[in-house]
Structure 1
Amino acid sequence: MIARQGRQPQRTCIACRRTADQNKLVRFVLGPDGTLLVDYRHKLPGRGAYTCLSRECLEKAIEKRQFQRSFQGQAEAASVETLMAGLHEQLLARVESLLGMARKSGQLETGTNTVLDSLKKKGKFAVLILSEDISESIGKKLTTVAARQDVPVFNMLGKNRIGQLLGKSERSAVAIKVGALADAILIELQRLAEMVREN
């Protein structure tokens, strides 16, 4: 489809038939062996089939054999669990990549005390990421301050992994400054949280 200037190309979910901007749907392509592959970033070559970012649509697409129909019978059978795991992996990789970009461009602050102090300045941060293994008392303190400032909070990864991504030792709190990069990170984190809720 040809996109009008300033608009995203539209695609239709093969399960629920809802039409949406291409970047709001998940793209699937066939590997050389007929394996169904998740193409979250829409970069792999070949014909694509699209679904909503929901377990329900994936289940329906598999149950109704919509992938086989879209790929003219060449798609190997795939399980919902396999596709959801592939999608989760790619979403996580996308968030990690965006965090790396935020670090390189100076768009984030790390460390519990630094983040706690900085969070008190209204309008400075768009999102707060806490490690999954943060201590309960520190997590509660940060979450309370973030809530007062209307900053959404997400728990993901361990302290070690967050530290590795940021080129530092363990980190249990990362605050992303307001801006386009923060908006992109927030979208991906919301998608990731939605996926976790569905599983």
Structure 2
Amino acid sequence: MKAAAQKDGPERSCVVTRVVKAPDDLIRFVAGPDGVLVPDLRRKLPGRGVWASLSRKAVVEAIKRKAFERSLKAKVAVPADLPDMVDQLMQRDALQALSMANKAGLVTAGFAKVEALVGSGRCLAVIAASDGAEDGKRKIGQAIRRAEAAREAEGLKARMLPVVAIFTAADLELALGRAHVIHAALAPGPAAEGVLSRWRRLVRYRTDDTAASDQNDTEDTTEPAGPNAE
């Protein structure tokens, strides 16, 4: 295993690549009471854990190599749809975070209100339904660019607002408890930061955006190397 960069806090290694990372760059799995492997997104479930890089590709590869079973050193049933299960749980977690941010009063919905919040400089992120009209997406992009131009004119540091565009209108309607949600915006606050944190993890998982150190050799080994279990 190649040396990992020094980081603060606990570290674990990916069961596939053996690269040592911080927990935020990994997904923890444990064997449930019924002996079936389950994702532990909150890292709170009891029992011996095994870690995989925050990447769908890594989870698929771990299943293919039977790496979960070897690392846990126990008979464990690994669901064939585990990669999809992780995706669904992560999306549900992100939408639950959005619902909490809404209850905290940090979500604004409706194109005009979103545009106004973006222009005010008090917007943390924009949310756009993935199945929304292209014209609406274009107008939101224009509003963001206008806000950035205004900041630059005032001599402020540019900061391109993140656009969360992976949820459908139906997802947003359910999370926010209102109909016809195509555009929304997040105001600054801890709950809103939680939404962005979960969104970024989900995007990384879907795009296999692992750390550069994961691009080294990933040849299969049968013996654990590094703290990939706990």
The TM-score, its normalising length taken from structure 2, stands at 0.74
Deviations 1:3-61 (A, max 9, x none): xxxx5322221111122222331011112332211111213222110111113322332
**1: distance between equivalents of 2:87 and 2:127?**
17
Q: How many residue pairs are counted as aligned between the two chains? A: 189
**1: distance between equivalents of 2:179 and 2:37?**
38
Partner of 1:74 in structure 2? 75
Does residue 60 of the first structure (1) align with residue 61 of the second (2)?
Answer: yes
**1: distance between equivalents of 2:176 and 2:66?**
43
Unmatched 5+ stretches in structure 2: 1-7, 149-159, 209-230
> Which stretch of the first structure deviates more once superposed, 95-104 or 154-163?
154-163
* Cα displacement (A) at 1:147: 4.5
* Cα displacement (A) at 1:96: 1.1
* Cα displacement (A) at 1:100: 1.3
**2: distance between equivalents of 1:144 and 1:188?**
26
**2: distance between equivalents of 1:114 and 1:100?**
18
Q: Is the 8 A contact 1:30 1:36 kept in 2?
A: yes
> Which stretch of the first structure deviates more once superposed, 101-110 or 172-181?
172-181
**1: distance between equivalents of 2:78 and 2:102?**
40
**2: distance between equivalents of 1:125 and 1:102?**
13
Partner of 2:216 in structure 1? none
**2: distance between equivalents of 1:95 and 1:41?**
12
Unmatched 5+ stretches in structure 1: 1-6
**2: distance between equivalents of 1:180 and 1:107?**
9
Partner of 2:133 in structure 1? 135
**2: distance between equivalents of 1:159 and 1:28?**
31
Structure with the bigger RCO (C-alpha within 8 Å, sep 6+) is: 2
Does residue 103 of the first structure (1) align with residue 113 of the second (2)?
Answer: no
* Cα displacement (A) at 1:76: 2.1
* Cα displacement (A) at 1:144: 2.6
Does residue 162 of the first structure (1) align with residue 160 of the second (2)?
Answer: no
**2: distance between equivalents of 1:56 and 1:170?**
34
Deviations 1:105-124 (A, max 9, x none): 111211111101221122x1
Change over 3 Å in CA distance of 1:102–1:24 after alignment to 2:
same
**CA radius of gyration, larger in:** 2
**2: distance between equivalents of 1:146 and 1:87?**
32
Q: Is the 8 A contact 1:146 1:153 kept in 2?
A: no
* Cα displacement (A) at 1:189: 1.3
**1:171 is matched by which residue type in structure 2?**
V
Does residue 196 of the first structure (1) align with residue 194 of the second (2)?
Answer: no
* Cα displacement (A) at 1:152: 1.0
* Cα displacement (A) at 1:97: 1.3
Q: Percent identity?
A: 28
Partner of 1:27 in structure 2? 28
Partner of 1:4 in structure 2? none
Does residue 90 of the first structure (1) align with residue 100 of the second (2)?
Answer: no
**1:136 is matched by which residue type in structure 2?**
E
Alpha-carbon RMSD across the aligned residues, in angstroms, is 1.9
**1:140 is matched by which residue type in structure 2?**
R
Change over 3 Å in CA distance of 1:56–1:108 after alignment to 2:
same
* Cα displacement (A) at 1:190: 1.8
* Cα displacement (A) at 1:187: 2.2
Change over 3 Å in CA distance of 1:77–1:164 after alignment to 2:
closer
Indicate the structure with greater strand content.
Answer: 1
**1: distance between equivalents of 2:203 and 2:23?**
20
